[in-house]
C-alpha cells in the first residue's frame, strides 16, 4: 500500500465490498482517493438485521457529498442475493442446536468461510465490469478469530482468483493492520471531519441491529461490535 498511487494504479478500476459499516465505508473512501473508477458490491444473504442493507444508499449519498472528485469517480452499486449462505447456516442448525451468541460476538448461525464466497462472487462481477482491484475491510487486528479475514487467506485468494480467471486481480485490504482507532484516523485523513461525521452518524456495525445514537455512532452499546467501535472512537478522540 502506498500513499501516492502511480498512474497505473489510478487507471485501474476498483470494486469495493461495501456493507454500509464503518470499515467498508472507510475502504470506499480509500478507493475513491486512489482509483479513477470505483463501484460497490453488497450482499443480501439473509442477515438477521436488514438495517445494514438499508443504510447503504444514504452512506453512498454522503460519500458523494464529501468531494466532487469522489462523486465523479463513484459508479454503480451492485446488490446481489446470496441466499445460499442462509441455507447453509439453517442446515447446520437443523435439529438440536439453538440459535445463540458465541463468545466472539457472532451468532452460531455464522458460516465460516463466508468471505471466501463473497470475494469469489465479487471477482466474478469485477471481471464482467472490467475492474481489476477488489477492496475489502478485512482486518487481522480486531478479528483475528476469523480465519477468512487473515492476510494469508487474502493473499492466497488473490492468487487463486487471478489463476482461476486468467487475469491479474489485486486484493487490497487497507485496514488489515489497523486497529479501530486507526481506522477512524484513516477516515479523518481521507475525508476530513465530514467523512468522520458521516461514518459516525450513518454507518451500521451493531450485531443487534439497534440504532441508538452515542458519541461513537449508532448501536445497542453493549454487543461486541458496539464495544469495539466505541473503544476505538474514544481512543481516536483521545478520551
Residues that bind Zn ion (CB under 5 A): 206, 208, 219-220, 223, 226
What is the distance of C-alpha 32 from the center of its chain?
14
For the bound state, the minimum distance from the C-beta of residue 224 to Zn ion, rounded and expressed in Å, comes to: 8
Q: Please give the Cα distance from 105 to 44 (Å, whole number).
A: 20
Nearer to Zn ion, 121 or 208 (CB): 208
Say if residues 24 and 32 touch (Cβ distance below 8 Å): no
Look up residue 194 and give its three cell numbers. Answer: 465530514
For the bound state, the minimum distance from the C-beta of residue 77 to Zn ion, rounded and expressed in Å, comes to: 25
Nearer to Zn ion, 56 or 204 (CB): 204
Give the residues across from 213 on adjacent strands: 218
Task: Identify the CA nearest to 115 among candidates 216, 41, 201.
Answer: 41
Nearer to Zn ion, 13 or 137 (CB): 137
For the bound state, the minimum distance from the C-beta of residue 48 to Zn ion, rounded and expressed in Å, comes to: 12
What is the distance of C-alpha 164 from the center of its chain?
24
Nearer to Zn ion, 75 or 105 (CB): 105
Nearer to Zn ion, 46 or 105 (CB): 105
For the bound state, the minimum distance from the C-beta of residue 234 to Zn ion, rounded and expressed in Å, comes to: 16
- What sign does the CA torsion over 186, 187, 188, 190 have? positive
For the bound state, the minimum distance from the C-beta of residue 103 to Zn ion, rounded and expressed in Å, comes to: 16
Amino acid at each position: 500500500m502506498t500513499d501516492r498511487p502511480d498512474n497505473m494504479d489510478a487507471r485501474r478500476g476498483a470494486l469495493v465490498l461495501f456493507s454500509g459499516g464503518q470499515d467498508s465505508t472507510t475502504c470506499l473512501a480509500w478507493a475513491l482517493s486512489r482509483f479513477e473508477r470505483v463501484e460497490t458490491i453488497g450482499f443480501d444473504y439473509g442477515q438477521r438485521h436488514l438495517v445494514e442493507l438499508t443504510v447503504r444508499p444514504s452512506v453512498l449519498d454522503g460519500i458523494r457529498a464529501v468531494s466532487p472528485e469522489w462523486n465523479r469517480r463513484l459508479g454503480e452499486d451492485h446488490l446481489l442475493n446470496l441466499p445460499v449462505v442462509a441455507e447453509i447456516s439453517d442446515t447446520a442448525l437443523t435439529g438440536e442446536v439453538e440459535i445463540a451468541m458465541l463468545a466472539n460476538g457472532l451468532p452460531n448461525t455464522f458460516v465460516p468461510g463466508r468471505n471466501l464466497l463473497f470475494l469469489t462472487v465479487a471477482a466474478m462481477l469485477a471481471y464482467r465490469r472490467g475492474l481489476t482491484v477488489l477492496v475489502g475491510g478485512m482486518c487481522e487486528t480486531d478479528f483475528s478469530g476469523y480465519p477468512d479475514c487473515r492476510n494469508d487467506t487474502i493473499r492466497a485468494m488473490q492468487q487463486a482468483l487471478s489463476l482461476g480467471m486468467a487475469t491479474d486481480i489485486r486484493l487490497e485490504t487497507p485496514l488489515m493492520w489497523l486497529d479501530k482507532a486507526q481506522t477512524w484516523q484513516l477516515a479523518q485523513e481521507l475525508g476530513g471531519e465530514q467523512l468522520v461525521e458521516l461514518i459516525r452518524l450513518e454507518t451500521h456495525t451493531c450485531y443487534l441491529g439497534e440504532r441508538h445514537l452515542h458519541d461513537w455512532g449508532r448501536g445497542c452499546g453493549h454487543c461486541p461490535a458496539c464495544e469495539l467501535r466505541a473503544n476505538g472512537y474514544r481512543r481516536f478522540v483521545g478520551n
